[in-house]
Amino acid sequence: MKEHSVTIYDISEQAGVSIATVSRVLNNSSNVSEATKKKVLNAIKDTGYTPNAFARGLGLNTMKTIGILAADSSDLYLAKAIYYFEEELRASGYDSLLCCTGYALKDKKAAIDLLISKKVDGIILVGSNFVYPDVADNKYILNAAEKVPVMLLNAELEGNNIYCVSSDDYKSMYKATCDLIESGFTNILYFYNSLSYSGALKERGYRDAMKDAGINVTERQLQFFEGTREDVHGMAAQLEKIASSGLKFNAVIAADDTLALSAVKYALSKGYKIPEEFSVIGYNNSMLATCSEPELTSIDNKLETLCQKLTATLMGVLSGEEMPKKTVFGGELVTRATTKEK
Amino acid sequence: MKEHSVTIYDISEQAGVSIATVSRVLNNSSNVSEATKKKVLNAIKDTGYTPNAFARGLGLNTMKTIGILAADSSDLYLAKAIYYFEEELRASGYDSLLCCTGYALKDKKAAIDLLISKKVDGIILVGSNFVYPDVADNKYILNAAEKVPVMLLNAELEGNNIYCVSSDDYKSMYKATCDLIESGFTNILYFYNSLSYSGALKERGYRDAMKDAGINVTERQLQFFEGTREDVHGMAAQLEKIASSGLKFNAVIAADDTLALSAVKYALSKGYKIPEEFSVIGYNNSMLATCSEPELTSIDNKLETLCQKLTATLMGVLSGEEMPKKTVFGGELVTRATTKEK
DNA sequence: TATCCATATGTAAGGGCTTACATGAAAATG
DNA sequence: CATTTTCATGTAAGCCCTTACATATGGATA
């Protein structure tokens, strides 16, 4: 492999035309007679020629590639988003350069630099953990946006050349919390594992709903789980621990289905009847919701729609159109067996 | 954006050196004095210069990029694999160009062509569904291997420049089936959703174990689920349907955790006691296994190890070393609540 | 001091493609 | 038939790097 590969020159020679003509055929450019076109195509077929994307990229200064950044491509939710993006982008003639950065800021910066040096035409930041509460920490996004359009999924950041598409996590969480309260639950624990932008929105939704219902919230009712995102046992253990430390709660509203599932496990282990004595609401409406027993009530934030919209916006930006810098979609509570029917 | 960007010439001018020297600094090449190195680095920092990967690629004829092909990046197992690959590759200085192809042969072919034209240095086919039972269908892989090394995860195919790393699915399935039989279950249903290479191995493992135990297997005991991979309800419904059509079974061994989980749901709905009256074994030991209630006994095929080994092999191949064309790792049965302790 | 090396830097030739511009031939126009 | 247009094709410059080779500089060696 990697011997001297077939180039446009070989084709031009074999077809008896100039390289310019070959290039025109390759690019479906105007003004090539049918006869020569056929000759060229035959030569291409004979030699098994594939254009060198570097050279092409050098000339065109675009590789028709979008960089996708996600903290962890194996996270259920992010993986789904990546899948949708990949699908949409391909349909629009773009490819995806994937970088999994992990959750550290430093690595995110490095990944973005890398994508830019690879001359991606745009960058999609998948997941709200790319935007930090501290403004200074978001400088790296603004920098990137000086070179290529940056798209944010489920996060918001103002800046030139930055576009945001997100779900209305605040409202979704507010309403879900209200639902729980209306069903008679007042000792509601908020269980979360991310300090991200959308994480903050969710938390505020919870807090406001409680406040508006006149329920006081102590800080201990907001439980942060530090472990890995798949560690259901660890999550359940944390609930167990704080329960035995004296905190009373008969409902959990979680920032994520995995957390919710751990709450179900916890409640079952305690012998609580779900949903009468103990209710749980998850977030993302992932496959976990239907895998759980009993099945999880969960907030669906319309990921596919978000991804489609985001991709469409990006395509608009790339073709020079004026596009909305911020799009928000409402979520929907999907009621299953962990909450009472209303 | 996309104005005239900073090039190596700008740096050379600003630093008062030749472009060759700049290039040397960029590539950490030999023989650059500390003084000039510093000058160059400063100029780079000042201008915010990022090297153009196209030009670099043209020169080096490699972009240090590996193409990763997966049918569906949102599949739990594949997503994990992609994550591991991405991690390992980055650690080795390579990036990942991800293509989700779907399950159709035509799209797989197209995706590979695309990767090759983008001059990836190697291709990783994630998941056994890339190798077909019909040899002719695998021609596209052989073609690709003429240009770049092709790595197969959990599949096997002989050919020049093709390397396979897989788990011993046959043996794992054989042993798991034997375990079930030893525990007293003989009406074992095999539940699967993929006709892939490793799917065939698993099936053979099941069949042989049954045969060796002197148990006759009717074709109806091998249930193929056609729906999407996440449709737990559909899966459970299929089990329900065949049970009510008269087929008796008190154990399910599944080719995938999702299928296994549906079996658990089915058994619970029937009121069977798990594992005494009804046992279930899943495959992949994914997070679903611990999310399930009761938790799933599942076969762990050491995905991370497989991915590490595969990446290491690829790196070896790329640096010209002689590498094993086939590596097989044994799996391990992780016993949880859906089977009896032995 | 003359000679040779090692080290540091520069020059220039690609690498494979796109495309503006130039050219030539055929078709349309008067 | 001369002249202008149009279409098809070729020429060559440029995209931004890498790197073999050439050159210059200073010190070590005999």
DSSP string over B252-264 = EEESSHHHHHHHH
Regarding whether B128 and B84 lie in a shared domain, the answer is yes
* Closest-approach residue (CA) in chain A for B73: A83
Query: Cβ contacts (< 8 Å) between A268 and chain B: which residues?
Result: 293
Asked whether residue B1 is domain-assigned, the answer is: no
Say how far A55 CA is from C15 C1', in Å.
8
Decide if A74 and B74 are in contact by the 8 Å CB cutoff.
Answer: no
Q: How far is the CA of A56 from the C1' of C17 (A)?
A: 5
Q: Which amino acid is at B328?
A: V
Q: Which residues fall within 8 angstroms of residue B32, CB to CB, at 6 or more apart?
A: B21, B24, B25, B40
Split at pLDDT 50, 70, 90, the class of A16 is very high
| Confidence label for A232 from pLDDT (cuts 50, 70 and 90) | very high
At A4 the pLDDT is 57
Å between CA of A228 and C1' of D18? 44
Instruction: Give the Cα separation of A241 and B99 in Å (integer).
Output: 44
Residues B210, B246, single domain; the answer is yes
CB A226 within 8 A of CB A192: no
CB contact under 8 A, A74 and B79: yes
Nearest to A254 by CA among A239, A237, A268: A239
The mean pLDDT of B128-156, rounded to a whole number, is: 92
Residue type, A266: Y
Q: Would you give the end-to-end CA distance of chain A in angstroms?
A: 65
Q: How far apart are CA B26 and CA A275, in angstroms?
A: 62
* Average pLDDT score over chain B: 93
Is residue A58 in some structural domain? no
Mean pLDDT to the nearest integer, A122-136: 92
Residue-level pLDDT at A202: 97
Neighbouring residues of A50: CB distance < 8 A, sequence distance ≥ 6: A6, B113, B116, B117, B147
Residues 6+ apart with CB under 8 A from A212: A178
Clarify whether residues A154 and A279 are in a common domain. Answer: no
Q: Count of alpha carbons within 13 Å of B48, Cβ hemisphere only? A: 8
- Total domain count for chain B? 3
Check CB contact under 8 Å for A1 and B148: yes
CATH code: domain of residue B28: 1.10.260.40
Interface probe for B, chosen from A119, A228, A268 (most Cβ of B below 10 Å), is: A119
Pair A327, A290: CB distance under 8 Å: no
pLDDT at A2: 39
Nearest CB to A118; choose among B53, B76, B265: B53
Report residue A239 CA to chain centroid gap.
28
Site from B87, B97, B100 to mutate, A interface, most A CB atoms within 10 angstroms: B100
User: Is 60 exceeded by the pLDDT of residue A66?
Assistant: yes
Angle subtended by helix axes A8-15 and A19-26, to nearest 10:
110
pLDDT category, A147, cuts 50, 70, 90?
confident
Compute CA A105 distance to the chain's CA centroid, rounded to the nearest angstrom: 17
pLDDT at residue B126 in the model: 96
A264 pLDDT above the threshold of 60: yes
Cβ atoms of residues A240 and A205 within 8 Å: no
Same-domain check for residues A196 and A280: yes
Contact A22, A54 (CB under 8 A): no
- How far apart CA A153 and CA A167 sit, in angstroms, is 9
* Average confidence (pLDDT) over A183-210: 95
Position A3 pLDDT exceeds 60: no
Q: Same domain for B31 and B70?
A: no
Question: B190 is written with which tokens?
Answer: 């095999």
Residues A186 and A296 in one domain: yes
Q: What is the mean pLDDT of residues B282-304?
A: 96
Task: Give the separation between CA B312 and CA B318, rounded to whole angstroms.
Answer: 10
Nucleotides of D under 7 A from a protein CB: 7-12, 14-20
Question: Is the pLDDT assigned to residue A40 strictly greater than 50?
Answer: yes
Our measurement of the distance from residue A115's CA atom to the centroid of its chain's CA atoms, rounded to an integer in Å, reads 17
**Cis peptide leading into residue B275 (ω within 30°):** yes
Q: A148: which residues sit within 8 A by CB, 6+ positions away? A: A116, A120, A121, A122, A123, A161, B1
Residue with tokens 């291709």, as numbered in its chain = B123
- Upper half-sphere CA count for residue A229 (Cβ side, 13 Å): 16
Residue A5: which pLDDT band, with cuts at 50, 70 and 90? confident
Measure in Å the smallest separation between the Cα of A214 and chain B Cα atoms: 35
pLDDT of B298-323, one tens digit each?
A: 999 999 999 999 999 999 999 889 99
Same domain, B278 and B174: yes
Tokens of B248: 């008796």
pLDDT tops 90 at residue A235: yes
CA distances, B68 to each of A98, A112, A118, A161, B61 (Å): 10, 20, 17, 30, 19
> pLDDT tens for residues A199-213?
999 999 999 999 999
* Whether A90 and A148 share a structural domain: yes
CA of A22 to C1' of C30 (A): 38
Positive or negative: CA dihedral B42, B43, B48, B53: negative
User: Above 60 in pLDDT, residue B1?
Assistant: no
Task: Decide which of A130 and A30 is more confident.
Answer: A130
What does strand C contact on the protein, if contact means CB under 7 A? A 4-5, 7-9, 19-20, 23-24, 26-27, 29, 49, 51-52, 54-56, 58-60; B 16-21, 24, 30-33, 35-36, 55, 58-59, 61
A55: chain B residues, CB-CB within 8 Å: 54, 58
Q: A235 lies in a domain?
A: yes
Å from B59 (CA) to C14 (C1')? 9
Domain co-membership, B23 together with B96? no
Based on the fold, state whether residues B46 and B73 are members of the same structural domain.
no
Cβ-nearest to B54 among A82, A119, A293: A119
Largest CA distance in chain A: 86
Q: Which of A45, A54, A94, A233 has the highest number of chain B CBs within 10 A, making it the mutation to test binding with B? A: A54
Q: How confident is the model at residue A320 (pLDDT cuts 50, 70, 90)?
A: confident
Q: Is the pLDDT of residue B3 over 70?
A: no
DSSP state, residue B48:
T
Sheet (strand B122-126) strand order: A326-329, A162-167, A150-153, A122-126, A65-70, A95-100, B95-100, B65-70, B122-126, B150-153, B162-167, B326-329
Tell whether B232 and B178 lie within a shared domain.
yes
Distances (CA, A) of A116 to A112, A149, B342: 6, 11, 55
CATH of the domain at B69: 3.40.50.2300
Contact assessment for residue B227 and residue B262, using Cβ atoms and an 8 Å cutoff: no
B59 versus A249: which is more confidently predicted?
Answer: A249
| Structural domain includes residue A318 | yes
pLDDT at residue A106 tops 50: yes
Give Cα A328 to chain centroid, integer Å: 14
B2 in a structural domain: no
Strand D and chain A: which residues 11-70 have CB closer than 7 Å?
Answer: 16-21, 24, 30-33, 35-37, 55, 58-59, 61
Residues of chain A contacting residue B5, judged by C-beta atoms under 8 Å apart: 147
Across A173-177, B2-6, B55-59, B91-95, least confident range = B2-6
The pLDDT value recorded for residue B2 is 39
H-helix or E-strand containing A218?
none
In terms of domains, do A127 and A72 share one? Answer: yes
The reported pLDDT for the residue numbered B4 is 58
Helix (H, G, I), strand (E, B) or coil at A322: coil
**pLDDT-based confidence at residue A1 (cuts at 50, 70, 90):** very low
Strand D at less than 7 A from CB of B103: no
What is the tens place of the pLDDT at every residue in A274-291? 999 999 999 999 999 999
Which range of A114-123, A263-272, B130-139 scores highest in mean pLDDT? It is: A263-272
As a whole-number percent, the residues of chain B with pLDDT over 70 amount to 99
Query: Would you say residue B20 lies in a domain?
Result: yes
Cα–Cα distance for residue pair B273/B265, rounded to 1 Å = 12
Which nucleotide's C1' sits nearest to the alpha carbon of A35? Answer: D8
How is residue B136 written in tokens? 């002719």
Across residues B96-112, what is the average pLDDT?
87
Is the CB of B63 less than 8 angstroms away from the CB of A268? no
Phi, psi at residue A324, to the nearest 5°? -65, 140
Q: For residue A52, what pLDDT is reported?
A: 87
- Tell whether A81 is covered by a domain: yes
Residue B273 lies in a domain: yes
Minimum-distance residue to D10 (CA–C1'): A18
Across B39-49, average pLDDT: 90
**Closest Cα to residue B295, out of A238, A88, A264?**
A264
Residues from chain A contacting residue B265 (CB–CB below 8 Å): 293
Look at residue A163 and give its three-state secondary structure: strand
Cα–Cα distance for residue pair B314/A185, rounded to 1 Å: 56
pLDDT at position A137 over 90:
yes
Range of the domain at B243: 169-302
Say what the pLDDT of residue A8 is.
92
Across the interface, whether the CB atoms of A95 and B114 are under 8 A apart is answered yes
- Does the distance separating the beta carbons of A293 and B117 come in below 8 Å? no
The residue of chain A nearest to residue B116, with distances taken between CA atoms, is A50
